[in-house]
Amino acid sequence: MYLDVVDLRDFYAQPLGRVAAQFINQRIHEHWPNVNGLSILGLGYTPPYIRSMRDRAERTLALMPARQGAVYWPSTGASLTALVEDDLLPLPDSCMDRIIITHLLEMVDNPADHLREIWRVLTPGGRLLIVVPNRRGVWARLEQSPFAYGRPFSRGQLTHLLRDTMFTPVKWSEALYFGPFKGRSPLGSAKAWEKVGGRFWPAFSGVLIVEATKLMRQGLLAPEGSRVTSGFRPIFLPAPNLPFKLEPDDKG
């Protein structure tokens, strides 16, 4: 089950969404303090998390699942967004240095298929960063945020999933210890909750963040017909600020 892209965009336009993105971005920066000259790919709904990387990275792309829909991003200038089949990326092998996933793995039926495709396009020595809802956290239980939709993960489940798809977890972090409650008072104390929660009850964070590297012992066999030919290129959104939804049976 995918959330509509308009719901995701609207959440991050609200105070609760902006505060959530702020604390998650702090953790992302701790994982990747330097992205100068690198190729960055965001999968799922990632503009709130890759926006700050644009000026330093060599190139930045935001690929959004067809069943979710897409919005034009950034709001000015050339489009960096494209609609894709998220388990069949229109990219050549080993072309991206860093890949970040948000609002994707918890929504799909078979996360392993998507991670195998991500393995294909990630460079040797490249890094993958995954942000998913923590099944122990309150954010996975209250529907005020998109982190309550889909299937939350435990650290053990995510570790097994990564190892089964030839990734090795190298660093973990957590974020969102305050509750997903709207209102000035809860958001005003969010910073204090982040400090206290990270120290005393890290297992109950709202999201889990894991950085993984690509194993190179052997290649992963791609399903028949899944190889991307050199002539196939993503089609970027043509007009700014016009969100739209692509129906599942509409391939045009």
In the DSSP assignment, the letter for residue 53 is G
Write down the pLDDT at residue 156: 96
> What are the structural domains, with CATH classification, of the chain?
5-214 (3.40.50.150)
Q: Where is 119: in which H helix or E strand?
A: helix 111-121
Over residues 162-199, the pLDDT tens digits come to 999 999 999 999 999 998 987 666 677 888 888 888 88
- Listing DSSP states for 156-194 in one string gives HHHHHHHHHTTEEEEEEEEE--S----SHHHHHTHHHHH
Write down the pLDDT at residue 232: 44
Distance between CA atoms of residues 198 and 9, nearest Å: 28
Residues facing residue 44 across a β-bridge: 102
Q: Is-contact 149 143, C-beta < 8 A?
A: yes
Write down the pLDDT at residue 252: 42
Q: Which residues of the chain have pLDDT under 50?
A: 219-221, 226, 229-232, 242-244, 246, 250-252
The maximal CA–CA distance of the chain, rounded, in angstroms, is 54
Write down the pLDDT at residue 240: 55
Write down the pLDDT at residue 77: 87
